[in-house]
Amino acid sequence: MQTNHPQTGVTTAQNHLPQVQEPRNPGTDLDMDWVASVQANTSAIERRAATLPGRRSVKKEFQAAWLLKAITCIDLTTLAGDDTPGRVRRLCAKAANPVRADILEALGVSGIHTGAICVYHEMVATAVDALHGTGIPVAAVSTGFPAGLSPFALRVAEIEESVKAGAEEIDIVISRRHVLTGNWQALYDEMRAFRAAAGNAHVKAILATGELATLRNVARASLICMMGGADFIKTSTGKESVNATLPVTLVMIRAIRDYHEATGFRVGYKPAGGISKAKDALTYLALIKEELGNRWLQPDLFRFGASSLLGDIERQLEHHVTGRYSASYRHAAG
Partner 1 sequence: MNVSEIFETMDYGPAPEAAGEALAWLVDGGDKFGLFIDGDFTKPGKTFPSRNPATGETLALLTQAREKDIDLAVAAARKAQPKWARLSGHARAKYIYALARLVQKHARLFAVLESLDNGKPIRESRDIDIPLVARHFYYHAGMAQLAEAEMPNTEPLGVCGQIIPWNFPLLMLSWKIAPALAMGNTVVLKPAEYTSLTALLFAQICQEAGLPKGVVNIVTGDGAVGEMIVNHPDINKIAFTGSTAVGRRIRQATAGSGKSLTLELGGKSPYIVFDDADIDSAVEGLVDAIWFNQGQVCCAGSRLLVQEGIAERFYAKLKARMDGMRIGDPLDKCIDVGALVDPVQLKTITDLVDKHGGDGEVYQPATPLPENGCFYPPTLITGLQTSSVLMQEEIFGPVLVATTFRTPAEAVELANNTRYGLAATLWSENVNLALDVAPKLVAGVVWVNATNLFDAAAGFGGNRESGFGREGGWEGLQAYTKRKITTKPLKQIAPQPGSEKTEVDGLDRTAKLFVGGKQARPDGGYSAPVWSRRGDLLGHAPISNRKDVRNAVEAARGAKGWANMSGHQRAQILYYIGENLSARADEFADRIHDLTGGQRKTAVAEVETAISRLFTYAAWADKLDGAAKSVPIRGVALAMNEPVGVIGAFCPDDAPLLGLISVAAPAIAMGNRIVAVASQPFPLAATDFYQVLETSDLPGGVVNILTGDHNELAPHLAGHADVDALWLFSSSDLSAVIEHESAGNLKRTWVNNARTRDWMSPTSEGREFLAHATEVKTIWVPYGE
Instruction: Tell me: does residue 33 bind partner 1 (CB under 8 A).
Output: no
Is residue 117 within a helix (H) or strand (E), and if so which, with residue range?
Answer: strand 116-119
Contact yes or no for 291/326 (Cβ under 8 A): no
- Number of Cβ within a 10 Å radius of residue 127: 29
In the complex, least distance from residue 327 CB atom to partner 1, rounded to whole angstroms: 23
Q: Is 69 a catalytic residue?
A: no
Give every CB contact of residue 74 below 8 A, 6+ residues apart in sequence.
98, 114, 115, 303, 304, 306, 309, 310
CA dihedral 109, 56, 245, 76 (to 10 degrees): 0
List the one residue from 107, 116, 136, 187 that touches partner 1 (CB under 8 A). 107
In the complex, least distance from residue 52 CB atom to partner 1, rounded to whole angstroms: 10
Contact yes or no for 107/64 (Cβ under 8 A): yes
- Among 180, 241, 186, 170, which Cα is nearest to 213's? 180
Instruction: Tell me: does residue 248 bind partner 1 (CB under 8 A).
Output: no
Q: What is the distance of C-alpha 11 from the center of its chain?
A: 21
In the complex, least distance from residue 304 CB atom to partner 1, rounded to whole angstroms: 15
- Among 255, 259, 171, 177, which Cα is nearest to 212's? 177
List the one residue from 96, 140, 141, 215 that touches partner 1 (CB under 8 A). 215
In the complex, least distance from residue 199 CB atom to partner 1, rounded to whole angstroms: 32
Instruction: Tell me: does residue 319 bind partner 1 (CB under 8 A).
Output: no
Q: In what order do the strands lie in the sheet with 169-173?
A: 268-270, 232-234, 202-206, 169-173, 138-141, 116-119, 74-77, 304-306
- List binders of partner 1 among 285-304 (CB under 8 A): 285-286, 289-290, 293-294, 297
Query: What is the Cα–Cα distance from 102 to 107, expressed in whole angstroms?
Result: 9
| Angle at alpha carbon of residue 55, lines to 50 and 60, rounded to 5° | 120
In the set 75, 270, 300, 312, the catalytic residue is 270
Q: Is 300 a catalytic residue?
A: no
In the complex, least distance from residue 59 CB atom to partner 1, rounded to whole angstroms: 5
List the one residue from 108, 133, 264, 323 that touches partner 1 (CB under 8 A). 108
In the complex, least distance from residue 72 CB atom to partner 1, rounded to whole angstroms: 9
Instruction: Tell me: does residue 109 bind partner 1 (CB under 8 A).
Output: yes
Nearer to partner 1, 10 or 112 (CB): 112
Instruction: Tell me: does residue 214 bind partner 1 (CB under 8 A).
Output: yes
Determine the size of the site formed for partner 1 (CB under 8 A).
Answer: 39
Q: Is 277 a catalytic residue?
A: no
In the set 75, 94, 171, 204, the catalytic residue is 171
Query: What is the Cα–Cα distance from 166 to 9, expressed in whole angstroms?
Result: 9
Instruction: Tell me: does residue 61 bind partner 1 (CB under 8 A).
Output: yes
Stretch that binds partner 1, among 54-62, 84-92, 157-165, 223-231 (CB under 8 A): 54-62
In the set 75, 234, 300, 312, the catalytic residue is 234
Instruction: Tell me: does residue 331 bind partner 1 (CB under 8 A).
Output: no
3-state DSSP percent of the chain in helix, strand and coil, to 5: 50, 10, 40
Q: Which residues are catalytic?
A: 171, 234, 270
Binding site residues, partner 1, CB under 8 A = 39-48, 51, 54-62, 64-66, 68-69, 107-109, 214-216, 254, 285-286, 289-290, 293-294, 297
